[in-house]
């Protein structure tokens, strides 16, 4: 899958790029600020990212369905990856570390252009993650009634047999219902 090329346009349009890594959830729940940023990034990605909006519009995905599952799935992934802690840093091995709300691994060759500050920036990392999901053929579940587990599982690397996508989708469904997304 090709890396998203226009992340900067979405971040700039969304007002991102500032150091907002302080924004963390509380007691395993996303903060209102985090939910607002996720909603904003989903909207701006639909408008500004060819890898998101154009691809999904070409597949006749309704905007409302996209918004529901974009927000829900990003929140579900954040819950598992960092518990909504955008300052999170995890050492995976001697050479591998992951950063931010979405635990972006910077050791992979296609991500060497991403800085630690960007990985911890909620605007940047949210836009990067939704572009990765769509690049892996992610679609709202209402379109075909199925979950493309590969897209959620592989948003940041793959290990298809570890239960990750099931947990992310379960959390997504809970957040969609709880926050009426």
Conformation bin of residue 180: beta by default, left when phi > 0, alpha when psi is -120 to 50? left
Q: What is the DSSP string of 55-82?
A: HHHHTT--HHHHHHHHHHHHHHHHHHHH
Query: Using one digit for the tens of pLDDT, what is the confidence trace for 56-115?
Result: 888 888 999 999 999 999 999 999 999 999 999 987 777 778 899 999 988 777 777 899
> Which percentage of the chain shows pLDDT scores above 90?
41
Say what the pTM is. Answer: 0.83
Q: What is the CA radius of gyration of the chain?
A: 15
């Amino acid at each position: 899958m090709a890396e998203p090329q226009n992340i900067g346009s979405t971040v700039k349009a969304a007002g991102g790029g500032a150091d907002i890594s302080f924004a963390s959830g509380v007691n395993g729940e996303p903060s209102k600020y985090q939910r607002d940023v996720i909603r904003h990034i989903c909207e701006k990605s639909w408008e500004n990212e060819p890898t998101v909006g154009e691809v999904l519009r070409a597949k006749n995905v309704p905007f409302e369905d996209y918004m529901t599952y974009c927000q829900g799935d990003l929140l579900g992934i954040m819950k598992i990856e960092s518990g909504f802690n955008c300052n999170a840093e995890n050492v995976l091995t001697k050479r591998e570390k992951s950063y931010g709300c979405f635990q972006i691994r910077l050791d992979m060759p296609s991500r060497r252009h991403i800085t630690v500050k960007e990985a911890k920036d909620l605007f940047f990392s949210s836009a990067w993650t939704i572009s990765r999901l769509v690049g892996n053929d992610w679609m709202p579940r209402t379109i075909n009634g199925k979950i493309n587990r590969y897209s959620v599982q592989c948003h940041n690397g793959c290990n298809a047999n570890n239960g990750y996508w099931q947990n992310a989708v379960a959390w997504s469904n809970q957040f969609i219902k709880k926050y009426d997304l």
